[in-house]
Every structure is written in structure tokens, then in C-alpha cells.
Amino acid sequence: MSTQNPSTTSSDAARRVVLLGSTGSIGTQGLEVIAAAPDRFEVVALAAGANVHLLARQTIAFAPEAVGVATASETQVRAALAAAAAEAGVPTPEPQIVTGPDAAELIAAWPTADTVLNGMTGSIGLRPTLAALRAGHRLALANKESLIVGGALVKAAAAPGQIVPVDSEHSALAQALAGGRAEEVSRLVVTASGGPFRGATAERLRQVTPAQALAHPTWDMGRVVTTNSASLVNKALEVIEAHLLFDVPLDRIDVVVHPQSVVHSMVEFVDGSTLAQVSPPDMRLPIALGLGWPDRVPGAVPGCDWTQATQWTFEPLNEQVFGAVSLAKAACAASDTHMAVFNAANEEAVDAFHDGRIRFDQIVETVRDVVEDYDPAVVLLSAGQAPGELTVEAVLAAESWARETVRSRW
């Protein structure tokens, strides 16, 4: 077994940061971290999906060299910049503007940057992740989907230590892994809050409404990851993410339910010692560490209050009711494109649930059915891809088969 932890090279120069998904939960918290540590971080470019009004306000506050937006025109971006500048009483900024579906990929490789925070949602982050790595930038990775669907492709594009995990559990694992040598690691233990339906029966999951699924008990996050937390698909993705990041076999990665979300994950070593990373549930800590790695950012978040009585509890995951984790482990072992199918089917099913087309419990049921029906030899060959050769095109062909399969069903 080996573990690939982020590089330990430190630097005094301010990090020149690109934020992909700057208008989302991770992106806005990333900008808070940067605003609080202007000696350490400088924004050089921002990319968003559609929210040009927030992007324009961010541009006024952080003066990036470039902004990218996927689904607005340059005229719309310029109009938003002019309106935001008028509102703030400042001159209209004139960053370079990139628009269209490839905007995030171009911004990810921005030549004057050295660090990219990928805070986009979904496997649409794959090309930007690859672009950041190929440009030689450090990648602070919140967009777990790009690593999971790209798998070996993303790993091959990354130099040792180039990817720094931002996902709270993987940031915790990276920190705890520093406590021993790779060959001394026995198991990784990924904690799960259990989501809003912890302890629920299968029958209860049939009744879940979108509002209930979005009421996460401990974290305030975007729609997709919050829904995934409720279905435990997020934990399924995170087990595969840990396997890919740290090269630990799937049978040595466990999930334990910890409803307080204070112990963010643990590493058990061969001598029976377990190291845990502990902090209040606040993403600004793993974001700051991801941007500044290996240096810690002083005051990134308030630490635990040890003057107050508190209790942390741990319980096993009920895999009979929440089958996503074992389903993902089997999919990951089946072929190098099965997780692309798993993730794409889930993204489609989450949309179908929020649109009222399927029940909550049908999300994981749909993923299971699509993964079971997937035959890479048939799907990839019919898309002109050679099974066994992992390329971006093969990943996209597997995904588009999965998306079509879900759409034709619901």
C-alpha cells in the first residue's frame, strides 16, 4: 500500500489563485479565506456558470485579470460589471472575459496563476481539473466528481503532491496521514454525518421531499452535494475519492457515522493507533489549507471550544437502508469507466428528484440499475472508443450513455 500525500514544499510568495465556481458555496468561502489573508493569496481569475451579477461584484472586490462564464455572453458580463460598478461607485473594471462551455477550462490554465481551487459541481469539472494539472498549477480540489470520473486519467496528469484535497474528509486524511509512513497505514476511516435521514427506514425514504433532503444537519452546501449527503451517495463518492487520492485499497476504507461532523476522518495505523483531525464544521479550514498547503493559515476558523461539555458519537452505517457505499465500491472495482456511469446516473437522478419526476429512494435505485446495465465493451465500442483505453472521450461516452439511460427511463 502506498499513500500519495500533497507536496510539502512551502513558499513565501503569495499564491496566485484561480477560483472555478466562484459564485457557489465553496467559491464564496474561498474568497472569504483570500480576503482574510491578503498577504498569502491573490485572485488572478474567476469562473462561474451563470451568475454574472455575483461574478461582477466579486470582480470589483478582487480585481482579477480574467473572468469566465459558461452560459452568458460577453455583452451580458460587461453590462453586469457596469451595473455593479455604478452601484459601488467605482470605475467599471475591464478584465479579460471568456465565455462559453470551455470558459472554465481556459481559466483553469490561466498562465499567471499557480493555484486553482476547483469548486464547480459535477463531472463538468473534469476538463478544468485536467487543464489546471497540465498547466502545472497546484490543484485545491473540492470538485470530487472530476477525480472520481477521471480516475486514472486525472492521476496520470498529476505530479506527486500536485492535488491537495479540499473535501473536509480528505483534508482530514491528508493531515492525519502525516502521522506515519505510508506502509504503516492500516485503514482509512471516513466519517459521515448520516445526513437528515440518519436512522430512517427504507419506508421513510419513500416519503422524503426535496426541502427535507436539502436540510443538512451540520453543513450549508450547494444543492447537489447536500442531496448526495442525504442519500449517502456523497459518502460513496468520498470513499472512491480517498482510494484515488491516497492509493489505499477499497477494502481498507471504512465509513463510520458521526452526526456531529467534528471528527472529519481518521487514519488507523498498524500499531493500533488512530489519528483523527478535529475542528468545527467550517469549510474555510480545508479551503485555507488547500490553498496554502503545506502551510496553515492562522485564524482560518475558530477552533473547538474545549471549555464546554460536549459529546461525539459514532455508529455503524446501515447499509441495508443506505446502499450507495457498497454499490460504489463494486462499481469502482468493475472497470475504469463504471464510476463515470455511477456519477452521471446520480447527477441525472438528483435532477429528476428535484423536478418531482422520481421519489428520493429512487435516486440510488436508479444508479444501481444503470450501473448494473452498463457493459463497457458494448457502450464504448458503439461510441467508437476502445474499452481498456481510458481517455476523456471514453469517460464522456460512458457518461452520456448513463445520462441518456436515466432520461429515457424518467
Draw the binding track, 41-80, toward ligand NDP (x: CB under 6 A; -: no contact): ------xxxxx------------------x----------
- Known binding-site residues for NADPH equal 23-26, 49, 51, 143, 145, 222
Residue closer to Mn ion, measured from CB, 239 or 341: 239
Residue closer to ligand NDP, measured from CB, 4 or 123: 123
Partners of 5 in beta bridges: none
**Residue 32, helix vs strand vs coil:** helix
Q: Tell me the closest approach of the beta carbon of residue 286 to ligand DXP, in angstroms.
A: 7
Interface size with ligand NDP, residues (CB under 6 A): 31
| 137 touches, from ligand DXP, Mn ion, ligand NDP, none (C-beta below 5 to 8 Å by class) | none
CA dihedral 221, 225, 227, 229 (to 10 degrees): -100
CA-closest candidate to residue 403, choices 359, 323, 348, 354 = 348
Q: Which residue is nearest to Mn ion (CB)?
A: 167
Residue closer to Mn ion, measured from CB, 59 or 118: 118
Q: Tell me the closest approach of the beta carbon of residue 21 to ligand NDP, in angstroms.
A: 3
Conformational region of residue 232, where left means phi above 0, alpha means psi within -120 to 50, and beta covers everything else: left
Peptide bond connecting 294 to the previous residue in cis, omega within 30 degrees of 0: yes
Number of residues that this document lists for the chain: 410
Q: Which pairs from 359-362 meet CB under 8 Å and 24+ separation?
A: 359/205, 359/206, 359/208, 360/205, 360/206, 360/208, 360/209, 360/213, 360/230, 360/231, 361/202, 361/205, 361/206, 361/208
337 and 391 Cβ atoms separated by less than 8 Å: no
Q: Tell me the closest approach of the beta carbon of residue 219 to Mn ion, in angstroms.
A: 8
Q: Tell me the closest approach of the beta carbon of residue 235 to ligand NDP, in angstroms.
A: 12
Q: Does residue number 121 form part of the binding site for ligand NDP (CB under 6 A)? A: yes
Angstrom distance (rounded) from CA 401 to CA 262: 39
- Known binding-site residues equal 23-26, 49, 51, 143-145, 167-169, 193, 216, 222, 229, 234-235, 238
| 26 touches, from Mn ion, ligand NDP, ligand DXP, none (C-beta below 5 to 8 Å by class) | ligand NDP
Q: Does residue number 21 form part of the binding site for ligand NDP (CB under 6 A)? A: yes
Residue closer to ligand NDP, measured from CB, 121 or 366: 121
Write the CB contacts of 40 (distance below 8 Å, at least 6 apart in sequence): 14, 15, 291, 292, 295, 297
Residue closer to ligand DXP, measured from CB, 315 or 404: 315
CA-closest candidate to residue 256, choices 169, 323, 193 = 193
- List interacting residues with ligand DXP (CB under 6 A): 167-169, 192-193, 195, 219, 225, 229, 234-235, 283
Q: Which of 114, 167, 268, 348 binds Mn ion (CB under 5 A)?
A: 167
Amino acid at site 233: V
Residue closer to ligand NDP, measured from CB, 237 or 257: 237
Strand pairing report for 163-165 and 138-141: parallel
User: Where do contacts with ligand NDP occur on this chain (CB under 6 A)?
Assistant: 20-27, 47-51, 70, 104, 119-121, 124, 142-145, 167-168, 219, 221-223, 225, 283
